[in-house]
């Protein structure tokens, strides 16, 4: 079975490939000749995931899935949420995003947050969505060199390490993307 994963984020591809059984071959956007920016103009995480999957299916004809992820911070009313990748501007710089978030939480004692991933699947002319959530808190400083995005400042509940300090296998087993991908795999294997 072949499925397009509608992302250019090599870190996401690496994470998801580790969770997908060998009989499912992931195709990148480059492999199908898609080099344009896929629109992400919806105001929800779910909407963006669906929009990306529909774009690939309608423009390229492949069965595919797309994800969108947001970091939602309680005391910021769910921000940065759908704008997580470009929280500090269009440059989509992870360090800038983390710095802006740490500044926004500087005097806050409540640092509760959650990562939310939604995967939208277009498969056999059917549409599906899968949601994975990982609750935790925002640290006061960056810790770790692994992972990407907000991983150096997100510590999942029940752990003393940030995602950026964890091995990929542990992060995948407890993380938002891993939870959503496991639902995707269960459907594809059924």
Angle between helices 10-17 and 176-189 (to 10 degrees): 50
Enter the DSSP assignment of 124. Answer: T
Give the distance, in angstroms, between the CA of residue 34 and the centroid of all CA atoms in the same chain: 20
CB 14 within 8 A of CB 82: no
Given 37, 63, 67, 68, which residue is catalytic?
A: 68
68 tagged catalytic: yes
92 vs 167: CA distance, rounded Å: 25
Q: Which residues are catalytic?
A: 68
């Amino acid at each position: 079975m072949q499925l397009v994963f509608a992302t250019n984020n090599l870190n996401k591809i690496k994470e998801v490939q580790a969770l997908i059984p060998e009989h499912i071959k992931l195709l990148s956007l480059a492999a199908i000749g898609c080099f344009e920016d896929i629109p992400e103009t919806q105001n929800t995480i779910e909407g963006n995931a669906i929009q990306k999957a529909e774009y690939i299916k309608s423009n390229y004809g492949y069965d595919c899935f797309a994800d969108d992820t947001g970091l939602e911070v309680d005391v910021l009313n769910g921000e940065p949420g759908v704008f997580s990748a470009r929280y500090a501007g269009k440059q989509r710089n992870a360090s800038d995003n983390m710095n802006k978030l740490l500044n926004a939480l500087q005097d806050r004692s409540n640092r509760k947050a959650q990562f939310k991933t939604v995967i939208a699947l277009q498969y056999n002319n059917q549409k599906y969505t899968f949601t994975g959530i990982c609750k935790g808190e925002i640290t006061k400083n960056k810790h770790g060199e692994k992972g990407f995005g907000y991983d150096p400042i997100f510590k999942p509940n029940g752990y003393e390490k940030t995602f950026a300090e964890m091995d990929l296998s542990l992060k995948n087993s407890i993380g938002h993307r891993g939870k959503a991908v496991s639902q995707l795999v269960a459907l594809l294997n059924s």
